[in-house]
Each structure stands twice: as structure tokens, then as C-alpha cells.
Structure 1
């Protein structure tokens, strides 16, 4: 039971605000020592003094970490994870080019004359930003700064406007290139390209579901999302369409270069991430926002975010090693295999509910590196297809960005929204979109063949 106690201790420390990487590392060392002492106690005799037991136990605990340097070195050699800093750099550079602003302005005027048009354009721009940057914080802040004031000016329902922005910003979690999918590819040891290809249709289904919901509520209640009058200063409809295409083509070109090279088998995700970085810099030159200072700032931010991810990964590696050594994996496997009903579906339903609940409190990186490795041996025993299971988890982790009280998208939007927008309005606005995500997750779970996937290997 040491491993189970260790798991809940780490979870409690995360909930009260301890730094993630240090929590995993410290809890691992502490419980590793306890496990060593427990092992010595199991074979100790009456002749052993307390100090002997303590000394030998601590020695056994330290021996457990002998192979830790080799694990860290293998992480550093992992070519899959090399894509993370490059995709982060690409996203930050694109954020600074003003790409989101240009897309939102053009598409907002393009769709604004229909009910819910600005909200629909926000979803479509969120899709393009997801496929070209994948940075949730940047997408939410950009759309919050530009799109929210427009929607409020034209008397959009505030919760609907806030929910649309938060949900659209999180599409970068499931639509490739996604950092979550890269991490899950590493954890599941499956090709990231396979995950990218498998995630496209579920991601687009989610986009379609958002737009359908916005259209339904807009036409059911005409005051929720009124149309925006045409702006003669922007020219006729033909000119507006032409301007929108000019703003969309650069980002679409980048998407084709990055994702097309992966899907066509021309490049690995790591190689395509490098292409994406070059493309992002070229776009910054095209939009005349390129400066050496901008590149330096983007590189520094990328290093900070990447260091956080790798710090958590090293702490999580120590955690999973101790958890496995103390027999935690066997207890979890026994529990999962004894769930009522069909073993496979009992396991899937329980894990999806557990990840959904954990997503209310802890970040997707911690879930990916701590919870998922515990579940993988059970899924392999049950013969569950790893790509399908990974996509379910990715969809579920996307929901964690929206779920109150700690959803990151909620904080991002609150930080850039006008003071008149309350936290309660943001929470109220995201609830329908959380329900939509759960519905799409259920469809992917029960009807995977619709998305070209299967339940079993």
C-alpha cells in the first residue's frame, strides 16, 4: 500500500499548491526511503536494533535510485520530445506576428451579418490557431482581447461569448500539432504521426459541434447573439472575402507544410516542427513584425516552458519508478480488472471519469506523466488499441482546461477580459461546451469506427 499512499500524498501536495516537479521528486525520495525501511523490516530479526534497521533501510531506498541517471539520460536522448520546444517556439513566434488579430478581424466581418457570426468566426479562428500554433494560452488571450470586446459591443450574451472563446482556445489540445499528443505518443510509445492523423476527425467533430450549438442558441434566442451590421468602410462582400482569404492563406500554408509533411510520410513530427519554426519566422517577416529581440524573447519563453515540462518529466520518472517498485501497479491492475461489468468497458469508463475529475484540480502534464503510465499496463493486458485510448485521453485532457475551478483557459480569459466580466459568467459560459466535449468523447469511445479507429489492437 506504500505506492497508493504515495500517490494520494503527491495529489494532496499538488492541490495545496506545491511546485509540480519538486513535489514528484520529493515524494518519490521520501517514500523510496520508507519502502527501503519496510523491506528491511520484512526480513529483520530480533537482534537488529532500530538504528540498524533505519541505516539498512535508507541504504536500500538509495539503491532504488541507482538507475535514475540512466532514465534521465534516456529522456534527453528521446527524439520525440525534441518536437516540444520547437512547436512551442513556433506558436510563440506566430502569436507575436499578429496572425490571430488579422484572422479574427477578417472572419468576424465575414460572418458577422448572420446570428452568432462573430462566435462562429471565433471558433473557426481557434481551429486555425490550434492547427498552426497549438498554444492554448496565446489563443485564448488573443481572442479574448480582440473578439470579446466586439461581441460585448454588439450585445452578445456574456456567458456565451466567454464560453466560446475558452472552448475555441483549447482546440490546440486535440487538433494537431498538439503538445498533449506528443507527450502521449512518448508515454504510450506509439508514433506521434499516428496520433496526429487519428486526432484530426475527432477535433473537427468538436469544432462542428461547437458551431451547431452556437447556431441553435442564436436562433432559439435572438438576443443571445445578434447579427452585426455591415461595415461599408471595409468594401463590398467580395472585397471582404478576398481580404479574409489573404489573411487565412499564410496560416493554411504553414498547416499544410507542418501536418502535410507528417501525414504524407515525408517528415517525422520532430522534422516538421523544425519546418514549422522556419515557417513561423518567415511569416513574421511577411507581416513585418520580425526583430532579433522578438526571436530572442520567443526563444527564452520556449526554454522556460520546455524546462518546466522536462522538470515535471524527470520528477514523474522518479515517481513512477518508486510506484512500480512498491507494488502500486499490481494493486491498480487488480482493482481495474475487478471492476463490475465487462472488463474492457469497465476500465475505460472508470479511467475516463477519473481523468475528468482529476482534470478539475491538476494540469494535463501531471496527468499525462503520472496517471497515464499507471493505466497503460492494464490497457495492454485488456488488448485496448493504444492510439484510440490515447485520443480518448487527449479529448478528456482538453476538458481539464475548461473545468472550474482550476481550468487554465478560465484564468487566461479572466486575466484579459474587461472588469465587467465576472468569474461566474465565465464558469456559466463554459458549462455547455464541457457537455459538448463529453458528448463528442462518448461518440469517439462508443463509435470509434466513425473516426477510422478501433477499440482493440
Structure 2
């Protein structure tokens, strides 16, 4: 059986399994096990066993539950709500100010959590009802929350970049630094779009009424500024210790988790309910990640065991005679397409081992490629038919926001993300400047 036919059978079977509504890790694991038994026979039973040990040997994976715990602790204890109130008060007088404040909130939540799930939950439960109550356009603000929450997988401490670093064998710190400026660039483009639209059409995002603004004293405004101190102190301490080499990656994540717990304790919000909810959410998300990684490693082991990695390189570089830039664009397009059906973690563990050697052979930076990969994941998060954030928004949005509204809302933000990809492809130093400056220190 040819490599091309095996590739077609494995990936088409995977798509069919996913369309049946099975859990992602179950679909991937089943296809991997079936293909292994068909191709290698009874000896293939060793593959999942070896894959599980490979997961256990990935020491940086210990950061996953700790970063997830940090984000949920700050969210469940209400510190994230305080942050939104701060942005609400300070940005309210501006047209579209609450939407701009929501983008700011998403950036801060991203820096606390490293995932899009927490940002989406906070945005949909805290920001969305307030925006709708203030008369903001429901389509625009729905898109703001979906797009803003996707920043969590780009701005450090991005969990996805930690996984990419392990697979690509690249320094996590270099990838985190590479994600800072592209993440801020994308957030700035989101904010610029909101500001321009609301300036041209004030009905989309009316400012806070003057009567309400007059009720908020300067003393209260400055008191609310203190709400943002705790997350910034935690993030600065965690990253500062890591950047200076005092702590390792895992130790830094432990510092962040401890800092979030202490912040909740100091604010007298560390109740048993908060602790129980945080632990349950952390366990649920961490187990989901681990099962997907395990299943995807089995899938990748079967596919790579056939020599398919070299087959892809020969096909693109020699058979099709494509230029490096054409191959790069094809890879990014394939990420967007796969991301419509697969979780970003599953997609990363399956496809990245095939693409990264090809990226290196073409002379591209794997750090730069990692940033491009994450942004294409962000695009996939908010594009039909199986965009992750679309389903989360549908589950959490009030009844007046329909599925059509949700789909319409993401159109301009997908365009902004594609523009960001183009900018970073043309100007790779946007992603590489900070890592190069730090490594050359």
C-alpha cells in the first residue's frame, strides 16, 4: 500500500469518526489502533504503551495543570470580575469603550491562563451581559469576545506554545517571547477595528451616560486600579523569575499557581466552593489535554513509523517542485482546515512532527513558524463548522444571540487574523526580535 493511500485512509477515517460526534481522543485513538493492527499486526499493541510513557517523560507537561489552576483560581475568586469593572470604569466614556475594555481584559486573562477557555468563560459570563445591557451591538460584541479569548494561546504563558516547544524541541522561553509582539499586534488591530466602527456608527457602542459617569468618583476609579495589581504582580513575578534563570519553567508555573491562591486568600475570597470549582475545572481540562496528547502520539507514531514524514518532504519538494513559500502557505492552510475538525492539541501532536523537519529543511525559523501555527489555530477556533469558540459561545450566550449572529460576528475578526499572519510572514522580526534580543543579551 502506498504512502499516499495510507495517508488518505487514515485521515479520511479520522474525519468520519469525528463527524459521528465521538470524543476527539477516542476518534484519534481508535483510528491509530485500527491502522496499527492492520499494518503491523499483534505487535502494534506496544505502541500505545510506549506513547503513554512518552507522555509521562515530558516533564514540562507538569506546567499544564499549574497554569490552568492559576487562571481558574483568578477567575473563580472574582479577581477577573474586578479587572473588568476596572476597564469598564476607565474606558466607559469612550465610544465603544466597553468593547475596548473587553479586549484589554482578554489580554490580561491570556497572560494569567495560557488557554482560550478561561477567557471565553469570563467574557461570555461577565462582559457579554454588561455589553448587551449598555446597548452594544450584539453581533459586534459576540465577535469581540470570541476573537479576544483566542489570544490566550498566543500571549505567554501559552500552553499550546509549551506543547509546540516539546514537539519541535525548541526553548519554551524563546517561543513565549516570540508570541508577545504578535499577540499585542493582533489585540491592537482588534481595538482599532472596534474604535473605527464605533466612531463611524456610535449606535454600535454607545459611551456610558454622563449621569452614570458622574456617580463614579476619582477615589473609586483609583481604588479599582488596585484590582489590576494582583494579576500583573503574579505574572511579572512568574516571568521575572523564569527570565532571570532563578526558576525553571515548571517552578515558575508553581509560583504562578501559588500567587493566584495567595491573592484570593488576601482578598478573603478563598472559600471551599472556589477551591472545589477550581480543582474540578483544572482536573477536567488537564485530563482532556492528556488524553488527546496520548491518542495523538499513538496516531503520529503509526504514521511516522511508515516513513510518511520523508514521503511528505519528497512529495512537496521534489515531486511537486514547490517553492518554500508555497509549501509554507499550504501548511498554514492545512492547519486552518484541520483546525475546523480537530482540537489544537491533537492537530499539533499529529501534524507538527511531520511539518517541523520540512520547515527546518527549507531554512525557516521553527520559532517563527510556531507563532504562525498558533495564529492559524486562532483562526480555526472561530471558523465553522467546528470552531471551538463558536460552540462555547453558543452554549453560554443569551437566547437573543442566534447561531447566525455568532457566525456573522467572526467575519471581520477572521480577516484581522489573516492580516496579522500576512504581516508576520512579511516582517518575521515582529516575532523574532524579542527572542533574538534576549538570547544575545
Give the TM-score taking structure 2 as reference length: 0.92
CA separation of 1:170 and 1:65: change in aligned 2, threshold 3 A: same
**TM alignment of 1:33-112, pairs within 5 A:** 33-36=37-40, 61-66=41-46, 68-112=48-92
5+ unaligned residues in a row in structure 1: which ranges?
37-60
Query: For residue 138 of structure 2, what is the aligned residue in structure 1?
Result: 158
Which residue does the alignment assign to 1:14? Answer: 18
1:46 is matched with none
Q: 357, 370, 393: which is aligned to 1:413?
A: 393
Counterparts in 2 of 1:15 and 1:373: CA distance versus 1, 3 Å: farther
| Aligned position for 1:297 | 277
Answer whether contact 2:135 2:206 (CA < 8 A) is retained. Answer: yes
Distance 1:406 1:287, change over 3 A: farther
**1:279-294 alignment to 2 at 5 Å?**
279-294=259-274
| Alpha-carbon contact 2:75-2:81 (below 8 Å) kept | no
Instruction: Using the TM superposition, give the Cα deviation of residue 439 of structure 1 relative to its aligned residue in structure 2, in angstroms.
Output: 0.6
Find 2:33's aligned residue among 29, 41, 55.
29
Q: Deviations over 1:122-165 (max 9, x none)?
A: 00011111101234222222222222222222322111111111
SS at match of 1:444: helix
**How far apart in 2 are the matches of 1:128 and 1:176?**
10
Q: Distance in 2 between matches of 1:229 and 1:336?
A: 59
1:374 aligns with 2:354: yes
Number of aligned residue pairs: 431
Question: Residues 337 and 148 of structure 1: is their aligned pair in 2 closer, same or farther, counting only changes over 3 Å?
Answer: same
Question: Quick check: 1:386 aligned with 2:366?
Answer: yes
Aligned to 1:118: 98
8 A contact 1:174–1:181 mirrored in 2: yes
Compared CA separation, residues 5 and 232, structure 1 to 2 (3 A)? closer
- Note if contact 2:234-2:256 (Cα within 8 Å) is conserved in structure 1: yes
Cα distance in 1 between the residues matched to 2:7 and 2:141: 44
SS in 2 for 1:312: helix
Contact 1:388/1:453 (CA < 8 Å) preserved in 2?
A: no
Any stretches of 5+ residues in structure 2 without a counterpart? Answer: 437-441
Return the offset for 1:341.
7.2
* Cα deviations by residue, 1:170-207 (Å, 9 ceiling, x for unpaired): 11111111111111111111111111111111111011
Q: Is the 8 A contact 1:88 1:133 kept in 2?
A: yes
Partner of 2:439: none
Task: Measure how far apart 1:354 and its partner are.
Answer: 0.9
- Give the counterpart of 1:198 among 166, 173, 178: 178
Give the CA deviation at 1:290: 0.6
**C-alpha root-mean-square deviation of aligned residues, in Å?**
2.2
1:216 aligns with 2:196: yes
The alpha carbon displacement at 1:378 in A equals: 1.4
- 2:24/2:343 contact within 8 Å kept: no
- Structure 2 Cα separation of the partners of residues 261 and 377 of structure 1: 32
* Structure number with larger C-alpha Rg: 1
Deviations 1:284-337 (A, max 9, x none): 112222124432432233222222211122211221111122332233222222
TM-score normalised over the length of structure 1: 0.89
